[in-house]
Amino acid sequence: MVDTKVDLCGITIDNPVIPASGTFGYGYEFAELYDINCLGTFSFKGTTLDPRFGNETPRIAECPSGMLNAVGLQNPGVDDVIREELPKLERVFHKPVMANVSGFSTDEYAEVVKRLDRSAMSDMIGWYEINISCPNVHGGGMSFGTDPKMAAEVVKAVRWMTEKPIIMKLSPNVTDVTEIARACETEGADGISLINTLMGMRFNLRTKKPLLANVTGGLSGPAVFPVALRMVYQTAKAVNIPVIGMGGVSSAEDVLEMMMAGATAVEVGAANLVDPYASRNIVRDLPDTMKKFGIDSLSKV
C-alpha cells in the first residue's frame, strides 16, 4: 500500500489533489457528478466583500494546450457565500475546505477573512488562500502580488483576523517570484500557492479586435506547466513554508512532477473545465502512478 497522505500547514489531507479556485465553483455543483470527499480538499471560488458580476463577455478564449480567461472574479459576495453556498457544501463535503479570498484593498481582504472566520460556517474552513494575483480585475488583484511590500501588507492585515493557516496565492507575472514569497513568509504566511494565470491575449482575425472583451486574460492549462514547475521549484527552495504547486496539472504524473519540484500539495485548474471528472481521475490514478515510479509515500517525494 502506498501512502498518499500529506500534511498541509498542520492539517493532514488524504491526498495532495486540490481542485483550484475558479474551476470548481463552491464544490457542491461537482458533487452531483461524483463523491467529492475523494479529494484532498478544494479551493472555492474567489470570494470578495460585495457580489461581482465579473467582466463583460466574451471572457474565455481557447488556445493551443490551454485557455485564456478574463472572468473577473464573478461571485455572490462573502455574506451570500456564508448564507447560501457553504450550507449547501456542508451537506456533501465532510473535510476542511480552502477558502479563496480576493479583494481590491488590504481592508477588503481582512474584512472578508474576518466575516468568514467569525461566521457559523467557520468550522468548515481549513485554510485561507489569499488571491493576490488575479490579472483580470482593475484596481486590486494582481497589483498586491507583484510588489513585495504590498503583499506583506495583505498578510499582516489578514493575520490579525484568523488563527487558521494563511496561504498566499502568487502571480507568475513578476520577474522574481521568490522575493514576493519571502516577503509573505516574513510577515507570517503559513504557505504559498502558485501559479495564478499568465497574462496573455488573442485577436480575432475577422474583426481585427481582441477576442476577449477585457482585451487581456490569464493563460492556464497544460501550456503553462513548465513555467509553473520552474516557479514552484524556485519558491520551494527560497522559503521554509509549504508550497502548493499548480498550473497546467492534468494527470497523476504531473502531480508527482510538481511534488518533485518541491510542492507539498497540488491544485488542478483548467483540467476540471475540460473534463469535470479530471480531479477525481487524478486521485484514482495516483496510487498506481506512485507504484510505477517507486514512490511509497507522498510525504517523502
Ligand X SMILES: Cc1cc2nc3c(=O)[nH]c(=O)nc-3n(C[C@H](O)[C@H](O)[C@H](O)COP(=O)(O)O)c2cc1C
| Catalytic (active-site) positions | 134
- Taking CB atoms, the residue at the shortest distance from ligand X is 22
Residue from 171, 196, 235, 289 binding ligand X (CB under 6 A): 196
Residue from 16, 39, 45, 262 binding ligand X (CB under 6 A): 45
Mask for 91-120, x = binds ligand X (CB under 6 A): ---------x--------------------
Closest CA relative to residue 16, chosen from 284, 274, 267, 214: 267
Judged by CB, which is closer to ligand X: 3, or 260?
A: 260
> Minimum distance from CB of 95 to ligand X (Å)?
19
Whether the bond into 244 is cis, omega within 30 of 0? no
Measure the N-to-C terminal CA separation of the chain; round to a whole number of Å: 16
Residue from 8, 17, 73, 252 binding ligand X (CB under 6 A): 73
Residue 72 makes contact with ligand X by CB under 6 A: no
Phi, psi of 68 (to 5 degrees): -105, 135
Residue 20 makes contact with ligand X by CB under 6 A: yes
**Per CB under 6 A, which of residues 239..298 are in contact with ligand X?**
246-249, 268-271
Exposure class string for 135-162: b at 16+ Cβ within 10 A, else e: bbbeebbbbbbbbbeebbbbbebbbebb
> Minimum distance from CB of 240 to ligand X (Å)?
23
Length of the chain: 301
For 109-264, strand residue ranges (E) read: 125-131, 166-169, 191-194, 198-200, 203-204, 209-210, 217-220, 243-246
Residue 171 makes contact with ligand X by CB under 6 A: no
Residue from 48, 55, 69, 171 binding ligand X (CB under 6 A): 69
Residue from 17, 18, 22, 128 binding ligand X (CB under 6 A): 22
DSSP 244-299: EEESS--SHHHHHHHHHTT-SEEEE-THHHH-TTHHHHHHHHHHHHHHHTT--BGG
> Minimum distance from CB of 217 to ligand X (Å)?
9
Residue 224 makes contact with ligand X by CB under 6 A: yes
Residue from 9, 18, 71, 125 binding ligand X (CB under 6 A): 71
Mask for 120-159, x = binds ligand X (CB under 6 A): -----------x----------------------------
| Residues 267, 27: Cα–Cα separation, whole Å | 14
Binding residues for ligand X, rule CB under 6 A, total 25
Across the chain, which distance is largest between two alpha carbons, in Å? 57
The neighbour count for residue 65, using CB atoms within 10 Å, is 14
Interface with ligand X (CB under 6 A): 20-23, 45-46, 69, 71, 73, 100, 131, 169, 196-197, 220-221, 224, 246-249, 268-271
